[in-house]
Chains A and B, each alone.
Chain A
Amino acid sequence: MISQIYVDDIVFGGMSNKMVQHFIQQMQSEFEMSLVGELTYFLGLQVKQTEDTIFIS
């Protein structure tokens, strides 16, 4: 699992769903934060995710 933090923005992803769910749970219990779902916008970059490609514009 890889997690990237930039000031107050966090992106994360992982191969194991169990690990990812655990990470979400831990972060939410430890800090006051919410999960905004699948990555579509990060640091002013638009991110489009499809089956096997990622498009950034």
Chain B
Amino acid sequence: MKKFGLDNGGHKRTPAATHLKLTKDESGISVDQSMYISMIGILLYLTVSRPDITFVVGVCARYQAEPKMSHLTQVKRILKYINNTSDYGILYSYSEDSKLMGYCDANWAGSADDRKSTSGGYFFLGNNLISWFSKKHNCVSLSTTEAEYIATRSSCSQLVWMKQILKEYNVEQDVLTIYCDNLSAINISKSLFIIVEQSTLIFDIISSEILLKKRL
């Protein structure tokens, strides 16, 4: 905080306004880029242990190429929030239950510059948060369903990966659960899973046929 002259600055109770709308702000006043990048660097390192700022730091990090006054104000707000909440952390408690669960969500056209959405996901093992992400999509979603489906899909692959790594530690998982708050996205996922199941079935049949031929 001292480094950026914010050691006697105010405190903030939240890292950003509720409806954060940052844009490229091409007509805005330019600010010192190296200082901005250094602030982002510090904050990105913090996101490893602070899920509460992951999204907003990610948004601010998009404007490192041409930082403007509006971006710097937002970054300073995050720093003030951190200053106020430096005792926050993650509590891991003992629990018998070690079921993997994922929660995901997405905003729609969250980026005002290119209308791309951002998805986020949180993953729990029992009652302990062990992993999270916030990532802007690579493509433009035309509906909330599309955006939510992309979030569900990436959460799903994360969960499957975590299931594999837990298997290495002898923690077997039965059914993986993902919570998604969009009914259409859930239905799309369900129908696609059926297709995937069918195709693996076909693949199994084909490969067993090949095996049989080889044996013959």
Residues of A in contact with B (beta carbons under 8 Å apart): 2, 44-46, 52-57
A2 and B93 alpha carbons, distance in the complex (Å): 18
A-B pairs with the 6 shortest C-beta distances? Answer: A57-B89, A54-B92, A53-B93, A52-B94, A56-B90, A56-B89
| CB 8 Å contact bits of B34-53 with A (1 = contact, 0 = none) | 00000000000100110000
Q: In the complex the two chains form, is B48's CB within 8 Å of A53's CB?
A: no
Min CB distance B49 to A, Å, is 5
Question: What are 6 contact pairs spanning A and B, CB under 8 A?
Answer: A53-B92, A56-B49, A56-B89, A57-B49, A57-B88, A57-B89
Tell me the dominant secondary structure on chain B's binding face. loop
Given contacts A45-B48, A53-B92, A56-B91, 16 further A-B contacts (CB under 8 A): A44-B45, A44-B48, A46-B89, A52-B93, A53-B91, A53-B93, A53-B94, A54-B91, A55-B91, A55-B92, A56-B49, A56-B89, A57-B49, A57-B86, A57-B88, A57-B90
A44 and B92 alpha carbons, distance in the complex (Å): 18
B interface, size bucket: 10 to 19
Closest A residue to B170 by beta carbon equals A2
Closest B residue to A53 by beta carbon equals B93
A55 and B93 alpha carbons, distance in the complex (Å): 8
Residues of B in contact with A (beta carbons under 8 Å apart): 45, 48-49, 86-94, 169
Min CB distance B74 to A, Å, is 23
Residues of A within 8 Å of B88, CB to CB, are 57
Residues of A within 8 Å of B169, CB to CB, are 2
Min CB distance B44 to A, Å, is 12
Residues of B within 8 Å of A45, CB to CB, are 48-49
Closest A residue to B86 by beta carbon equals A57
Closest B residue to A54 by beta carbon equals B92
Closest B residue to A51 by beta carbon equals B94
A53 and B128 alpha carbons, distance in the complex (Å): 10
Min CB distance A6 to B, Å, is 12
Residues of B within 8 Å of A52, CB to CB, are 93-94
